[in-house]
Amino acid sequence: MFFLFRRDIREKPDVSGALWVPLVWFTLICSRAFTQWLRIFGWRVSGGSVEEGSPLDACFIFALLIAGVCVLLSRQIRFSEVVQNNAWIMIFVTYCLISIFWSDFPVSSFKRWIKMFGHPIMVLIVLTEPNFEEALIQLMKRCAYVVVPVSVLFIKYYLNLGTSYDPWSGAQMCVGITTGKNELGADCLIFGFFFFWYLLQIWRTERSKRRRNEIRLIVAFLLMIGWLLWKSHSATSMVCLLVGITVVVILGMRWINKNVVGTYMLAGLGLIVAAELGIGLSGHVSEALARGSSMSGRTVLWEHLLEVPINPIFGTGFESFWLGKRLEQLQGIFFFIPNEAHNGYLEVYLNLGLVGLFLVIAMLIAAYWKIRPEFFRNFEWARYRLGFFVAFLLYNCTEAGFRIMNPYLLVFYIIAIDYPRIYPPKSQSSLASVGPEERTQFADAAEEHWSASA
């Protein structure tokens, strides 16, 4: 890890020191809470309650938020343009804030809303870097430098940290740097998709020592990620990763007409819906992955969650459903009391009602409409966005991807939030495919444009 960080810094990437703020944030939500890390290193700290959380965790997260806000203020971000270009996201975030007023636990709900608001702040730091694409690459690589090797280390040599045991069957579960096997699977999905996309960028560059070293680095991380994904047994992440990679590969084929990508999307969605209604596609896929027709009990959980009395229009309030006496109504379904719906759309409905679900759908549609014109300005970035977008839609069918400290939600904001920036010529659609001189020239132009705008 030290060698990799030292190597990146010596290459002097065109990113500012402010990128360390979102890097710490991203690494934290990809691994464990701050107090959990302190306990690993021998500090005796309280974990706090379920409703209130840990005060020390809250202070650390608040410090990161303050640092992020200070960075944005120093860059004189045009917040009016941020709101204008991302109207549906801003409306959704505002509605989440308003829903606190009818929550049974308004204080806890407000604390969780502040945490969620940290995602757009960190994303804007990345988007407002003079060289945005380089900043994204460095953010992903440096976070992977910590998450992936430490997960391998924990699982192989520190079983008390890298594994846990199913309280019902006693089966061993590999969790790595995270606290659950599904969380480890989500990390593998995020970084596996990124490194595959990054490999396509590096592969087209001219032969050089740097290209050879980068390919070796990428292959090494893909092998580690594949091993972690296999050890985690996270079927959802595995399927979503394969789907996202397939989308990226298909979009790169010459016979694909970029003008009708939306038609391809609708056709694919129509086929999936028809297969689900006709032959029960999800059940067959679940059985093929050894999860049973009930998707490891998810369908049973969904049926019981829909029976819990809530306000169907406005829900229970932001992140409030899994607090209080409602959990008592779920006792006896399984040997444990669940703490998430294992479905992102159902999770939104339980907390924010039909209004929140409508806003999420509008936010997803708006994100897709932002991706479409990107195919004619920066094709490589566009297919990264669309591949991850499709994987995100699928991921939320069996996992709660809209929860506040889910790393998947942060990456979704990266592909969904727009901030005005200039683009290289079409012949230089990816900064990874140009030489150092051209990259420096474009970075200087972007920095000059950013400074003038500020």
CA dist 93 and 117 (Å) reads: 8
Token output for 334? 């399984």
Assess whether pLDDT exceeds 90 at residue 401: no
Is 84 part of a structural domain of the chain? no
pLDDT digits (tens, 9 = 90+) for 10-36: 888 888 889 999 999 999 999 998 888
Q: What is the pLDDT of residue 280?
A: 62
pLDDT digits (tens, 9 = 90+) for 405-423: 889 899 999 999 988 764 4
Q: What is the pLDDT of residue 64?
A: 94
Token output for 149? 């090797």
In this prediction, residues 29-46 reach a mean pLDDT of 85
pLDDT digits (tens, 9 = 90+) for 185-244: 999 999 999 999 999 999 888 888 889 999 999 999 999 999 999 998 888 899 999 999
pLDDT digits (tens, 9 = 90+) for 286-302: 665 555 555 666 778 88
Percentage of the residues of the chain whose pLDDT score is greater than 70: 82
Radius of gyration (C-alpha) of the chain in whole angstroms = 22
3-state secondary structure of 80: helix
Q: What is the pLDDT of residue 334?
A: 64
Is 354 part of a structural domain of the chain? yes
Work out the number of other CB atoms within 10 angstroms of the CB of residue 313. 10
Confidence category of residue 269, pLDDT binned at 50, 70, 90: confident
pLDDT, the chain, mean: 83
CA dist 339 and 321 (Å) reads: 9
Structural domain range at position 313: 237-421
Q: Is 108 exposed, middle or buried (0-12, 13-18, 19+ CB in 10 A)?
A: buried
Q: What is the pLDDT of residue 117?
A: 86
Q: What is the pLDDT of residue 240?
A: 92
Q: Is 244 exposed, middle or buried (0-12, 13-18, 19+ CB in 10 A)?
A: buried
Whether the Cβ atoms of residue 216 and residue 260 lie closer than 8 Å to each other: no
Listed in order, strand segments (DSSP E) in 27-74 are none
CA dist 225 and 163 (Å) reads: 16
Sign of the C-alpha dihedral computed for residues 69, 361, 311 and 325 taken in this order? negative
Highest mean pLDDT (candidates 62-76, 254-268, 430-444): 62-76
Q: What is the pLDDT of residue 397?
A: 87
Higher pLDDT, 440 or 357: 357
Confidence category of residue 425, pLDDT binned at 50, 70, 90: very low
Crossing angle (nearest 10°) for helices 344-371 and 379-395 = 160
Residues 6+ apart with CB under 8 A from 159: none
Q: What is the pLDDT of residue 82?
A: 86
Amino acid (1-letter code) at residue 67: A
Q: How far is CA 197 from the centre of its chain?
A: 16
Please report, for residues 136, 381, 415, 420, 429, the alpha-carbon distance to residue 423 in angstroms, rounded to integers and kept in the order given.
15, 11, 16, 10, 8
Sign of the C-alpha dihedral computed for residues 15, 17, 20 and 21 taken in this order? negative
CA dist 198 and 217 (Å) reads: 11
pLDDT digits (tens, 9 = 90+) for 156-170: 999 999 988 876 566
Confidence category of residue 148, pLDDT binned at 50, 70, 90: very high
Token output for 215? 């390919």
CA dist 27 and 208 (Å) reads: 31
Total number of domains constituting the chain: 1
Whether the Cβ atoms of residue 448 and residue 157 lie closer than 8 Å to each other: no
Is 29 part of a structural domain of the chain? no
DSSP state of 222: H
Assess whether pLDDT exceeds 70 at residue 447: no
Confidence category of residue 333, pLDDT binned at 50, 70, 90: low
Q: Which among 108, 223, 232 is positioned nearest to 174, based on CA atoms?
A: 232
Q: What is the pLDDT of residue 195?
A: 96
3-state secondary structure of 408: helix
Q: pTM of the entire structure? A: 0.85
Q: What is the pLDDT of residue 449?
A: 43
CA dist 111 and 52 (Å) reads: 8
pLDDT digits (tens, 9 = 90+) for 58-89: 889 999 999 999 999 998 888 888 888 899 99
Q: What angle do CA 424, 428, 431 make, to 5 degrees?
A: 85
Is 82 part of a structural domain of the chain? no
Round to the nearest angstrom and report the end-to-end CA distance of the chain: 36
Is 46 part of a structural domain of the chain? no
Is 120 part of a structural domain of the chain? no
Assess whether pLDDT exceeds 90 at residue 264: no
Is 170 part of a structural domain of the chain? no
pLDDT digits (tens, 9 = 90+) for 306-319: 888 888 999 999 98
Higher pLDDT, 132 or 425: 132
Is 1 part of a structural domain of the chain? no
Residues 6+ apart with CB under 8 A from 376: 258, 426
